Each structure stands twice: as C-alpha cells, then as structure tokens.
Structure 1
C-alpha cells in the first residue's frame, strides 16, 4: 500500500481552511505509545499523551521507565522496567483485544536495550491484528550536545531490529547520523542521510532539531522526507531548551501524518504547535514544558511558519 494511503486511512473530514473538522481535532485514531514516564515534569508519555488526547486521539500508554523526573536533573528515583515487565503489560493490553483496534504504534525512550526487541515483537503483533496500523519510531539515543545517553547496544538494535519495521521515524540530526553511519551537517547531507534511513524500511523520515552549517544560527529547522519529496521549516531559536520537546514533536507529527498523509502539512502544524509550547514555557520562566497551558495550540495551530519544498 502506498505510504500516503497507509497514513491517511483514518483521515477525518477536512474543512475549508484545511484543518480537520471538530475544531481541528483528529477523530477515530487509537494509538499505543511505548516510552518513558515521569511523575514530575513532561517527557516521554508524560509529554506526548495529553497533546494527543487534545487532538482527539485515544491513547494506550505503556511505560518503559517510571521515574520521579527526567534524568536531566542529574538525580532521579524510580525504576527502569525490565523488558519482560514491558512485555507483560503489552500482553495484558493485547489480551483485552486492543491490538486489533489500533491505528498507530508510537515508541520512544526504551530504557533497557532488551526492550527494543519487545517493541519490535509488539509492532509485528499489532500489524498482524490490525493490518492498516502504522508504526512511528522515535529512535531516542542522544543529541549533539550530550552525545549518546542510552545503553551502547541500543543504536544497533534500533537500526537492525526496530527501524526496519517502522513506517515513520523521527530522529534528531545526531540520531539520524547514528542510524545511517553518517555525520550530516548540510542540507544535501541531511537529504542523503534521510534517504539512507528510508532505505532501512520507513517510508517517511522527520529530522528534528536541525542546525545546518549553512543555515541561520538563529533558526532551528525540521526536515520531512518521503517518496513525494522533502520539506524544510524553520522556527526562531529560543533562549532555552526543555526535555520532552522531541516527544511532543514526534507525537504531533505522527498524529497529523496518520490522518492526512501529507508530510508538508503535518510539518507545518507540528512546527507551529511546538514553537508556541516552547515560547509559552520560556515566557512563564518554568523549567518544565507548560503542556497544559499550550493546549489550544495543538488542535488550532497558528501555522505561522512557511514550509519550503527542498526536493
């Protein structure tokens, strides 16, 4: 099935200005989200679930870790779930018959390296039970500033076992390089690396947090690439960064692409919503994303940033 048809299977009615009906809410989408969860603050499922729900997505959230807060604080409490524990929770969800009703599987931070194989197995079972379901993998491994911050075995497991099952991946530029064995710093290099990533299996690649060598240093960009082309969007660089922005980005882009099949449109909506979320948080002087305060911007993005076709 062509990628656009696959992603658009659950598409809602679109109104005259190009937004989904019912005030921009996505309808009739059920999503399984397997990633970290924290009690304090917003990363992983604690960042992704509420924006998805505000879009009208029904979310089944399965944790890979249960921490007091994200690890950027330097100390935290809680536990990393063993792969067999994550598998057991997923089995319980499957026993309720939920896999057959799913439209999307989304995965993020895995915690234990063995959880990569658990996620891969769950994706296969979901796709067997719900043949139209798609899998969006956020291959969380690190970033240019911090380097690798996951178990050393995870990059190869993602590359060999998980990414080939994905329909969409949402790496940052550092993670794209890890997946493809490249170090992309220019737009041509990023496009080539995205093509290498697509050759692994995914039909669509969203590259987040792009800072190109030839780009404006005051701008942060995202690049979406699929079989139909490639699109770039830039937003002003804000003075602070926050944990969880990548998780919100992956969730929103996945939901918008799932219902429209339009990578450019999904990119425009996601960039607008995430920028407004970060800007609101900066203005508030908070150290954690103001996920709830920004809720009107998820279903009603201002679409204030132009998306440029680059291929």
Structure 2
C-alpha cells in the first residue's frame, strides 16, 4: 500500500520520517516522505543544524505529488509533530485532497504534545488546533496516555478513565485510538502497556518495562501500528472479524488486535536491542527482522 508521511526528518539518527519510513517499508508499504524540518539530528541533543521547511514549501511538495495523479493511489496519510498552525493547515488540506481522490484512504495522526514527566511542550496554539481541526479529520490517532488526557481535557490516569478518554477522543472523529505509555496504579511496576480501541472493542497489551527512553520510539510505534492495521485490512473492514483478544472464534482475528500485537512485539524488540547496545540512537536498521517477522511474544487481551 502507498503511504504519504508528512513528518520531520534528521540526517543523523532516527526520529520523524527518519524513524517511520524504513519500518513501514520493511513490512511491505511504499512510503512517500514529505519533510516538515530537515535537521542534522533530533533536538534532544540540545544543538542541531538545518532548516524548518516553510509551510508553503511543504504544501508545494504535496501539490507536486498530486500533479503526478498520485492522490488516488494513497492508502494512508501519516503525520506527527506539528510545529505550527500553518503546517497543521497544510496537513488538513492534504487529507481533504487525498480523500476526495480516494475516499477509502485513512489519515493517521500522532498528536504530539508532550508526556507525563515533562508536561506539554508544544506552542500554546497547537493543542486547541489539534482538538478543533486536526483530530476531527483523522481516522486513527496514536497519543500517549498524557496526550490523550490533554487532548480531550479529562483525566486519563487509570484503566477506566483512560478508556473513557479514548471514547471521548473517538467522539471527536477518529474511529481508532491507540494509547501508548499507559500507566495505571494497579499494573505491575515492571511493565508498560498500550491500549487500542475501535468499533470492534478495546484491547490491551503489556510488555516488560526497559529502564530508558529513546527519541523516535513513538514515531516507530505510530507508523508500525498504522502499517499493520492497513495490512490487516482494517481500513475498510473494522469490526467485521471476531475478537482476537478474548471471545474470538478459532482462527479469527480483529485487525486492530493484530496490529497491536505485532506493534508491541516489534517495538519492544527494537528497544531491547537498543538498550543492550547502550546506543543513544535507535537500532532501527539492526532490528529490521523484528518488523518483518514479529515474534508475537506478548498476548493481547480484550477489555
């Protein structure tokens, strides 16, 4: 399938499109990257070089893709960090143009705003813009637990409140919500969880907690989940299969549960490899077999 991915890019390391493109290619997708910045490295180093791409130039690149008659060939659009209202407007406009050419195309938005430790670290105008314009046109969103609560402006700190917040997010427009970095008081301290929700139900997966974080892991997670969701036929068939996590018939799966299981397996193994190598950057290329052939070592449970 063809994916238009509108994200940042770095020359050194792996964040944004520099994290998302290769894993998507490794699971069989054609990816057309459009850059919103072109930095030397991610900003976590404290110093970087390179330009922010003006919104008009981003729009021009997308327009050029359209001039090739390619909008009708796009199966999904992806976006991540939206550094300005102008970039957000370009993305929303691209979604409208692509869906006009191919109504079956989906838009997967990673509404990057911050995390529980550092709080919201985007400009003040970004969260309201995500709420009012961007998320309502998305089909899939992939916030972390903090971002989910911030997005819907309600509590998301335990299982019940997180599920309520996911339901509130779905009322805004998206049919699919993937919640990453889920923390809840009654979960074991040595695990981290992800929850996925769509019309077919809600599922949760636990993976061992690794004692570190690396920039770009969220970009890989959002990309792989969307890519696996597409591969599972979810774009036009959400809810047609029985549950894979709980009351499934023998041999049947739900696309969202399958995507969750594969994503959890692949991302955990990539992070474990990175941790064992004591690498500042993700071992993205070295982990490629984990994308193509996930070990499926973590069970997905229906909620």
Q: Deviations over 1:135-188 (max 9, x none)?
A: 111111111122222221111111110111111100001110111001311000
2:185 alignment counterpart: 213
Structure 1 unaligned blocks of 5 or more? 1-28
2:244 alignment counterpart: none
1:20 alignment counterpart: none
1:222 alignment counterpart: 194
Question: Structure 1 residue 100: deviation in Å?
Answer: 1.2
Please, which of 288, 294, 298 is the counterpart of residue 295 of structure 1?
A: 288
Matched-pair contact (CA < 8 Å) for 1:81–1:111? no
2:267 alignment counterpart: 274
Question: Structure 1 residue 190: deviation in Å?
Answer: 0.3
Q: Deviations over 1:258-291 (max 9, x none)?
A: 1212111110000000000000001111110000
Give the Cα–Cα distance (whole angstroms) in 2 for the partners of residues 63 and 151 of structure 1.
Answer: 20
2:208 alignment counterpart: 236
**SS of 1:79's equivalent?**
coil
2:67 alignment counterpart: 95
Q: How large is the Cα RMSD of the aligned pairs?
A: 0.9
**SS of 1:92's equivalent?**
helix
Give the Cα–Cα distance (whole angstroms) in 2 for the partners of residues 156 and 141 of structure 1.
Answer: 11
Matched-pair contact (CA < 8 Å) for 1:100–1:130? yes
- 1:55 equivalenced with 2:27 (yes/no): yes
Give the Cα–Cα distance (whole angstroms) in 2 for the partners of residues 83 and 143 of structure 1.
Answer: 26
Give the Cα–Cα distance (whole angstroms) in 2 for the partners of residues 52 and 237 of structure 1.
Answer: 24
**SS of 2:41's equivalent?**
coil
2:126 alignment counterpart: 154
Give the Cα–Cα distance (whole angstroms) in 2 for the partners of residues 141 and 66 of structure 1.
Answer: 20
> What are the residue-to-residue correspondences of 1:131-210 with 2, within 5 Å?
131-210=103-182
Give the Cα–Cα distance (whole angstroms) in 2 for the partners of residues 209 and 150 of structure 1.
Answer: 19
Matched-pair contact (CA < 8 Å) for 1:65–1:111? no
Q: Deviations over 1:70-115 (max 9, x none)?
A: 1111111112122212111111111111111100001111222211
1:11 alignment counterpart: none
1:308 alignment counterpart: 301
Give the Cα–Cα distance (whole angstroms) in 2 for the partners of residues 299 and 68 of structure 1.
Answer: 28
Q: Deviations over 1:122-145 (max 9, x none)?
A: 000000011111111111111112
Question: Structure 1 residue 228: deviation in Å?
Answer: 1.1
Give the Cα–Cα distance (whole angstroms) in 2 for the partners of residues 43 and 200 of structure 1.
Answer: 28
Please, which of 66, 69, 73 is the counterpart of residue 38 of structure 2?
A: 66
1:129 alignment counterpart: 101
TM-score, scaled to structure 1? 0.89
**SS of 2:193's equivalent?**
strand
Give the Cα–Cα distance (whole angstroms) in 2 for the partners of residues 213 and 289 of structure 1.
Answer: 29
**SS of 1:302's equivalent?**
coil
Question: Structure 1 residue 297: deviation in Å?
Answer: 0.6
Give the Cα–Cα distance (whole angstroms) in 2 for the partners of residues 287 and 130 of structure 1.
Answer: 40
Runs of 4+ in 1 over 2 A off after TM superposition: none
Matched-pair contact (CA < 8 Å) for 1:173–1:207? yes
Give the Cα–Cα distance (whole angstroms) in 2 for the partners of residues 79 and 210 of structure 1.
Answer: 34
2:86 alignment counterpart: 114
